[in-house]
Amino acid sequence: MPLYSSNAKYASKEMKNLSATESKIAVAGELDQQTTKGLLLQYTWYLQKEGYGENSRYIDCVRMLANGGANLHDPENVKEAIAKKDWKNGTKMQASYAYDALAKMLKLTWTMPTYKQEETLPFIPTVKEIDALISGARSHRLSGYLQTLKETYADPTEALRLRWIDINENTITINTPVKNHNPRRIPVSNQLLAMLNMLPKTSGYIFNTTYTRIAESFQTARRKVAQNLQNPRILSITLRTFRHFGATMLYAQTRDILLVKKLLGHKKIENTLKYTQLIQFKDDEYEAATATDLDEAKKLVGAGFEFVTDMNGIKLFRKPKRYVG
């Protein structure tokens, strides 16, 4: 009996110690989360102050490193964490640049690792897949935002910076482009204007939200649409995919690479040229036309047709069928 009593007391004491330890760990975890959240808020303001803008991709990279257990105050630990990530070299390179900015903010010295971005072509969905995502949005704000991305070819951050004063009749002006992009004015549809006019004008900004919130809403809608349509391709669509899609369709319609460069806001033509190789057309995806004299040929060229061949004095032209929403 005394032995049983002694063991029971010992077990009870151990349980109390274990409970106290677990409580301390839980509190420490909460403190770590609060510290990380505060650091990210400070980092967001630092990026804006130093001219990076609200670089959502930098913030996402730093957040993923923190969530993965990296010590953001230890550069060597961060470097090791990036190296061990199952990421493409392009993502590791972006994470390195993102932490480099954070290290400057924290006044930490480190040697940034060198990663070379792989040359890859972006995923291009179909019109139906893009429109399914827009119609499957859970709110007017998200559907209007996605339609804006589709029609303006804007970078996701550029679209979030749009203000009501940037709308003038049937055009939207991108006055605050991201780094290495030019300001530009884009014609838009009545459909988009109607969607935007459904949004509350409680702020000078059209969408009046953060990148993190809009991205989370998009990911939720994307999962739902992919499940409802039983189409896993939907899950490959990102917010930047809308830009790639729009540029590809614009080039397919016009074959004018300089126009694509202008509307995308690219400063270098090299960044635009990749869109010339993202789409292949089948014969039934072309609209055909013929010309028997020079005047007819000029009209067809002016309408976007390209010359194919000459058969028995009849000139054959074709152009891709228009991609409409």
> 131 with 273, same domain?
yes
Backbone angles phi, psi at 83, to 5 degrees: -60, -35
pLDDT at 2 over 80: no
- Domain identity same for 151 and 239: yes
Greater confidence, 257 or 65?
65
pLDDT band of 53, cuts 50, 70, 90:
low
Alpha helices in the chain (DSSP H): 2-49, 56-67, 75-84, 89-106, 127-135, 140-152, 156-160, 190-197, 211-229, 241-254, 257-264, 294-302
Cβ contact 223:214 at 8 Å: no
Residue 297 placed within a domain? yes
Confidence of residue 269 (pLDDT cuts 50, 70, 90): confident
Other CB atoms within 10 Å distance of the CB of residue 248: 22
Same domain, 207 and 313: no
Q: Is 9 exposed, middle or buried (0-12, 13-18, 19+ CB in 10 A)?
A: exposed
Domain annotation covers residue 165 = yes
Amino acid at 155: D
pLDDT band at 71 (very low <50, low <70, confident <90, very high): very high
Shared domain for 154 and 268, answered yes or no, is yes
Cβ-based neighbours of 298, under 8 Å, separated by 6 or more = none
Q: How far apart are CA 138 and CA 133, in angstroms?
A: 10
Question: Would the pLDDT of 3 be above 90?
Answer: no
Domain span at residue 223 reads: 127-277
CA distances from 121 to 241, 248, 272 (A): 11, 11, 12
Q: Is residue 238 part of a domain?
A: yes
CA-to-CA separations, 83 to 112, 115, 142, 284, in angstroms, rounded: 12, 10, 35, 47
Our count of domains for the chain comes to 3
Whether residues 269 and 291 share a domain: the answer is: no
Per-residue 3-state assignment (H helix, E strand, C coil) for 176-225: CCCCCECCEEEECCHHHHHHHHCCCCCCCECCCCCHHHHHHHHHHHHHHH
Is 222 part of any domain? yes
C-alpha R_g of the chain: 27
- Provide the token pair at 27: 């509190």
Same domain, 252 and 234: yes
pLDDT tens across 122-135, in order? 788 999 999 999 99
- Dihedral of CA atoms 298, 302, 306, 310 in degrees, nearest 10, equals -10
Same domain, 264 and 238: yes
161 lies in some domain: yes
Q: What is the pLDDT of residue 18?
A: 45
Do 134 and 257 fall within a single domain?
yes
- Amino acid 10: pLDDT: 47
Average pLDDT over residues 7-20: 49
What is the pLDDT at residue 55? 58
Same domain, 98 and 136: no
When pLDDT is averaged across residues 25-45 and rounded to a whole number, the result is 68
What average pLDDT is seen over the chain?
Answer: 82
Asked if residues 202 and 208 have their Cβ atoms less than 8 Å apart, the reply is yes
Same domain? For 262 and 291 the reply is no
Whether 122 maps to a domain, the answer reads no
C-alpha neighbours within 13 Å on the C-beta side of residue 214: 23
